[in-house]
Amino acid sequence: FVAHDIKNLVSQLSILARNAERHADKPAFRADMVDTLQSSVGKMNDLLARLSQHNRARHNAPVAVDISEVVMKSAYAKRLIYPIDAELQPGLMAMADPSRVETIINHLVQNGIEATSDGSSIRVHARRTDGGVAISVTDRGSGMSEAFIANQLFKPFDSTKDGGFGIGAYEARTLAQSMGGQLRVESRIGKGTTFTLWLPMAGAQVDNSPMGEADRKS
């Protein structure tokens, strides 16, 4: 997991460096670039802590958090790297660990970026659903077959990408389940992919159908 997260950070910083060659003369870009670099340093320090033999890598217990704020933080961090369209309802309170949610969203957005070759934006949409909050990340990239989703997508260390680790989707689903949530995927070859993270709503009674009837039909 740490190696995969480092790979993602290196990829993002490489894109940032290329963009800086074209836009470094703009004061607004430089200010945003400093924020992005500081955020990347913080993530690297977290990864070093996870590697430490004295660190047990325990997650914080889920608490009531404003999911829109957490998701917007992830989208904002990538604004200099790739176009992101975010549509977030205010006051989406879910039981979650913000750091785990941020990691999941980062994985899903990065997957969308890597699957998209025409520069089309990644759409992030958060909304209420039956008993919880659903955060969807949609790209218009290459898409995946049903067979790949069923047999390979969530299989660790099995990747079709050059230099890929094959654990991004696996880690995202594992983190979602560790918070009592779920991760599902819908995809069509040549049309794109939507990953949806479902988390229990703060203070809500959660049933055994967390995606909700409407979501299952979508």
pLDDT tens across the length of the chain (218 residues): 677 777 778 877 888 888 888 888 888 888 888 888 887 887 787 777 766 655 555 678 889 999 988 888 877 777 777 888 988 888 899 999 998 998 899 889 888 888 888 888 999 999 998 789 999 999 999 899 999 898 888 887 666 555 544 577 888 999 999 999 999 999 999 999 999 999 999 975 444 344 444 343 33
Indicate the helix (H) or strand (E) that contains 96.
strand 93-96
For residue 202, give the nearest of 94, 128, 101, 100 by alpha carbon: 94
Supply 193's token pair: 């992919």
Strands lying side by side in the sheet with 182-188: 84-88, 122-129, 132-139, 192-200, 182-188
Do 197 and 128 meet the contact criterion of CB atoms below 8 Å apart? no
Q: How many CB atoms lie within 10 A of CB 25?
A: 8
Q: How many CB atoms lie within 10 A of CB 120?
A: 15
Supply 103's token pair: 């990691």
Check: pTM over 0.95? Answer yes or no: no
CA triple 56-59-63, angle to 5 deg: 155
Hey, what amino acid is at 23? H
User: What is the distance, to the nearest Å, from the Cα of residue 193 to the centroid of all Cα atoms in its chain?
Assistant: 13
Supply 63's token pair: 């608490």
User: What is the distance, to the nearest Å, from the Cα of residue 48 to the centroid of all Cα atoms in its chain?
Assistant: 20
